[in-house]
Chain A
C-alpha cells in the first residue's frame, strides 16, 4: 500500500528506514542536526507542508509532520516546490544538482552539510524505497 506524500505517515516511514539502514548509519555516524523539509505549493500541490526529521549519530529517533516550522527546533531547513521534491524522491534529479541549480534551497550550516554528502545520498535512497503516492 502506498503512502501519500507529504504526510506524517510518509516522514515516519522515512525515519524508520533510516533508523534501520546500516549504510546510512555508517555514513552519518557523527551527524547531529535535525531537518525540516518544506514542501512548497506549485501547480501539482496547493498547500505548504512541513516535515520534521530527527537525525542523530546515524539514527533517526523520530519524525512528524508539523503545522509550522516553529513547532520544532531544527538546525536545517530544506525547501522546494512539491514537484521538485517528487523528482528528488523518484531519483529523477540528483539532490546536489537540485541544490546547485537553486531548485532546492538549504538554510543552515553549509559546512556541516558539505561534510556529509554520502549521508544525504543515503536519505534520498531511502526515500526511493518508500512506496509513495504522489498527489498527481
Chain B
C-alpha cells in the first residue's frame, strides 16, 4: 500500500525469500533491505512500515498468534521491529495476506482496512487525537465489523514521539523501537483486518500431532505454569532475588519496597482476569484495575512495565504503577523506553545536569508517582519538557552533555534485565539487531532454565559465567530467538527444537533438520546486521552503557561486572563475524547462502 498515491498492489509471497528468511521479522527485513539505504529518513515517506506474520501464525499451532511490525527505527536509526500478541496476526492472514508493506505518506489522517482480500483507505480526521482504545472501537464501528482486529497509534504516534507504540487488541503493544512514530509519520492512524481465508498448511495430520504435543508441553512446563498463574508480573519477586530487576535507574542492588510490585500481590489485589492471545494455552495477559484513578479496565502491567515505571523510578505504589502503564497504553507509548527516559531525567536532575529551567519547573525526582502521571501525557503530546523526553534517552543525554548517563544500546533503552545478574545478557543486548532487547537472545531465561534449548547447544548454566563459550551460547540463543520471531512463535512456549522443527515442516512442507534451525536464525541475524551496517552501525557500537558496567554494592549481583570483550569475542566467533569489524565475513556470507541475495 502506497499512502502517497493511494495505490494498492497485491504481490505473491516470494518463496525464495520465505525459504531463506521464513517470515515475521526475518522476511520483513529481507523486503526492507531492498527498500532503504543509509540516507533513508525513518520518519520520511521512503521508510516502509511492515506488518508481517509468519508461517505458523493463524494455524492450529498454539502460541502462534503473533504479528511483527517493522521499519527503520526513528529512535535508533537502525533496524526496528516490535512483536505483538493478541489476534491481529491471525486476522491479517484470515484477511488473505501474509504481510502488509506500507510506503509513502498520506496527505491527511488516514486509516486502512483490509477485509477479505480487499484493501481500502479511509479518512481518519475524526479519529486523530483519540486514545488507542477509543480509536480501535471507533474503527470497528466505522467498518461495520465488530470482530475486526485493529492496530492503531495513540497521541504519542501522532506527535512522532520516538518511543511510540502500535497498539492492538485493546492493550497489546508492538512497543519497542518507535514503530508508532513511523505510523504517525505516514498519517496512518489505524489498520483493521477481517477475513475468513484458510491459512495454508502442507500436512494437516502432522500439524495436528505436533499441536497436541505442544499443548501437552504447555500443561506441564513449569515456566508456562508460572506465567499462566501470575503473568509475566509474577516473576518480579524472582527477578529481585537474582538482582535482575533494575532499581533506581540501574544503580541500586537492593530496595526492599520493590517487592510491593509483586505480580502475586497484583493478582490478589488488582486483577480482573487473565487474557490470552489466539490459540494460546498459557494466557499470560492480565487485565487489572486502578480504582483510585478511576481505571476499571487496564491491560497489564507486564513485568517490564512494573520495572520501568516502578522500581527503576523508585515507585513502589503498585496501583500508581498500574495507572502509569494504563496511560502509556492509552497514549500509545513503549513503557520500557518511557520509564527509562524518565529515569534518566530524574538521574540528570538529581546530579544537577538538568535544572528546573529546563524541565519547565517540574521536579524530576525518583519516587514521585504524581510526576510520572503528569509527564507521560506531556511526552505523548510533546508538551514542554515532554518534547525533549519524547526523543528518547540517547538524545536527551546528548543534548545536556551527559551521553555517558544514557542506559541504551544502539540508542534503544535497556529493558528490565541486568547483565550484572545474568552475564549472557551482554550478548543479548550488544548484538540484538534492534538494540537493547530482552526478547532476542534472552539469556536470563536461558540461565534460569526457562529458555534453555540443549538440543541446539543452548544449555542453562552459571548465570555469572564469563567466557567465550558463554558468548557462543548467547549467540546461539540470539539466532534461535530470531527464528522464533520469524515463524512467529511466542517465546513463552518452548516445547523443544524437535517439536518446533516438525511444526514448521508440517506447515510449510519443508524438510528442515534440527541443525538447520540455527542456520536459519543466524542467516536472519546476519541479514539484519548487514542492514544495520548500511545504516552506520559499527563494531565499536557493540557495547554496554557505562552505568551497567559499574559494580553494585551488596545484593544478589555480588558486585560482579561482566567482561564484555570476552563474551562478545565468543559471540562473534560463533556467528562467523570478523572480530575487528563486527560484520559477517565473506566465508560466513557464503556459508549462509546470503551472496545470492546481496552484492556485498
Contacts and interface: CB of A to CB of B under 8 A. Distances in A.
Interface stretch (B144-152, B173-181, B446-454, B583-591): B446-454
B213 to A, nearest CB: 16
Interface in A86-124: 94, 96-102, 106, 110-112, 114-118, 121
Contact of A117 (B225, B229, B238): B238
Nearest to B225: A110
A113 to B, nearest CB: 9
Interface string B456-486: 0000100100000000000000000000000
Contacts of B387: none
Nearest to A110: B229
B241 interface: yes
B264 A114 contact: yes
A101 B452 contact: yes
B223 to A, nearest CB: 5
B449 A98 contact: yes
B131 interface: no
Contact of A97 (B241, B262, B447): B447
Given A99-B222, A100-B223, A102-B222, A114 B449 contact: no
A98 B448 CA distance: 8
Contacts of B220: 102
A24 to B, nearest CB: 13
Contacts of A112: 264
Contact of A115 (B262, B448, B463): B262
Nearest to B220: A102
Nearest to A103: B449
A111 B229 contact: yes
B230 A97 contact: no
A110 B221 CA distance: 13
A114 B447 CA distance: 18
> In which size bucket is the chain B interface?
20 to 34
Contact of A96 (B230, B240, B448): B448
Contacts of A100: 222-223, 448-450, 460
B202 interface: no
A114 B222 contact: no
Nearest to B454: A101
A114 to B, nearest CB: 5
Contacts of A101: 449, 452, 460
A60 to B, nearest CB: 20
Majority secondary structure, A binding face: helix
A39 B185 CA distance: 62
B241 A117 contact: yes
B267 interface: yes
A115 B260 CA distance: 11
Contacts of B441: none
B230 A114 contact: yes
Nearest to A27: B241
Interface in B199-248: 220-223, 225-226, 229-230, 234-235, 237-238, 240-241
B237 A114 contact: yes
A111 B234 CA distance: 8
Interface in A30-87: none
Interface in B302-340: none
A118 B244 CA distance: 13
Contacts of B222: 99-100, 102, 106
Contacts of A102: 220-222
A105 to B, nearest CB: 8
Contacts of B450: 100
B238 A97 contact: no
Among B225, B265, B448, residue most surrounded by chain A Cβ atoms (within 10 Å): B448
B460 A96 contact: no
B205 to A, nearest CB: 29
Contacts of B267: 111
Contacts of A99: 222, 449
Contacts of B452: 101
A101 to B, nearest CB: 4
Nearest to A109: B229
Contact of A114 (B221, B226, B448, B460): B226
26 contacts: A94-B463, A97-B448, A97-B449, A99-B222, A99-B449, A100-B223, A101-B452, A102-B220, A102-B221, A106-B222, A110-B225, A110-B226, A111-B229, A111-B230, A111-B234, A111-B264, A112-B264, A114-B229, A114-B234, A114-B237, A114-B238, A114-B263, A114-B264, A117-B237, A117-B241, A118-B240
Given A96-B449, A114-B226, 15 more contacts: A94-B449, A97-B447, A97-B448, A97-B449, A98-B449, A102-B220, A102-B222, A111-B234, A111-B267, A114-B229, A114-B230, A114-B237, A114-B263, A117-B238, A118-B240
Pick the 3 closest A-B CB pairs, nearest first: A100-B449, A97-B449, A101-B449
